[in-house]
Structure 1
Amino acid sequence: MNITAVLIDDEAPNLANLARLLAQYCPDVEILGTALDAAEGKELIVTRQPNLVFLDIQMPGASGLDLLQQLPRHDFQLIFVTAYDHYGIQAVKFAAVDYLLKPIDVTELQEAVRKATLRHNEKQQNSRLENLLHLLQRQPFKDEHRIALTTLKETRFLYTRQIIRCESDNNYCYFYLDNGEKLLVSKPMYEYEPLLKDYGFIRCHQSHLVNKRFVRSWVREDGGFLLLDNGATVPVSRSKKEAVLLALGF
């Protein structure tokens, strides 16, 4: 089943390259049009109503993130395409929206298109995009930010204040929640550390990340560890001790 798409990027060679890759490696994608800036992109999305939008994040004037906030509807799948792994990417990762880094890897392109097509065919609401928009609109109110956590069965959207701690399990990660739930998330912990550091989370050990709002006390016994409000104990490595105590104000 074909999926219709529009491509938005401020550099014409990038648009031509993406169109060529899609034609060669993703033949089920029907390109409805291309745009070189946010204004053209907005008009294209509104008039052509694509199933899928490929959107550059950083563009002169209004960015791709600005464009999304200007749209009256968001009933499409979204794949960001960007040359930068820092500009706007923290919010995109936080919301688990798909993105591709330039130069585009063909395998990653095919996988992103496959997932977008699957979500479109199953008529899934684009919860990731809605969460990203919510995040952008509520930037100053961090307690209202929800992070997208992908498990083997679903994507959960959780307020950061609900997360007590994270524990590494090789290429996976356990998230412990304030309601007693324990989620196995299909990404390694190091992917979440930079996303959560601005929300009061402390890396206290190679395998542990803790939300400091749930820390009850610093216990000096057995080399030192953190006692949490739910009674759990979390080790503190020798190399992290000074930074942890400073962050906690001990």
Structure 2
Amino acid sequence: MEIDTFVRIGGHKKICPTSILMLKADINYTYIYFIDGSCILSSTNIGILEKRLKESDFFRSHRSTIINLKYVSDFEDKDTIGNSSSIRLINGTKIPLSRRKAAVFFKIIQ
């Protein structure tokens, strides 16, 4: 794996984007969840990380979550009783999908 395939996530730590499952914002910090089940806290905010991951297969499902599209297992469109759309990752985590981002997401997936 070449060094330019790694992304800096804060400080001096660089990781491979394919190992990231999702990112969750917490004010000015970001929790980065990995495919192996581990999690780290970065002092870099989610907006900056989104720009750094722009070249990879990541999608911002709503204002506080970015998911890796490679690890989407299923998605649910808005149901008849008004529940919002959601995305299920391969680890079983259910992520809400913003109404404004739903059309873009369904276009990317299909």
TM-score range, shorter chain: 0.7 to 0.9
Q: Hey, which bits of structure 1, 4+ residues long, moved more than 4 A?
A: none
The one-letter amino acid paired with 1:238 is R
Q: Does 1:223 align with 2:84?
A: yes
Point out the structure with max Rg over C-alpha: 1
State the aligned residue count.
105
In the aligned structure 2, how far is the partner of 1:155 from the partner of 1:165? Answer: 20
RCO comparison, higher one (Cα < 8 Å, 6+) = 2
Residue number in structure 2 paired with 1:182: 39
Unaligned runs of 5+ in 1: 1-132, 136-144
Percent identity over the alignment? 24
Unaligned runs of 5+ in 2: none
The alpha-carbon deviation at position 158 of structure 1 amounts to: 1.2
RMSD: 1.5
* TM-score for both structures, normalised by structure 1: 0.40
The one-letter amino acid paired with 1:134 is I
The alpha-carbon deviation at position 156 of structure 1 amounts to: 2.6
The one-letter amino acid paired with 1:178 is I
Match of 1:243 among 101, 104, 108: 104
Please identify which structure carries the higher strand content: 2
Residue number in structure 2 paired with 1:200: 57
Residue number in structure 1 paired with 2:3: 134
The alpha-carbon deviation at position 247 of structure 1 amounts to: 1.5
Q: Does 1:173 align with 2:42?
A: no
* TM-score for both structures, normalised by structure 2: 0.88
**Secondary structure of the structure 1 residue equivalent to 2:54:** helix
Question: What per-residue deviation string (whole Å, max 9, x for no partner) do you get for residues 15-67 of structure 1?
Answer: xxxxxxxxxxxxxxxxxxxxxxxxxxxxxxxxxxxxxxxxxxxxxxxxxxxxx
In the aligned structure 2, how far is the partner of 1:187 from the partner of 1:208? Answer: 14
Map 1:86-125 → 2, pairs under 5 A:
none
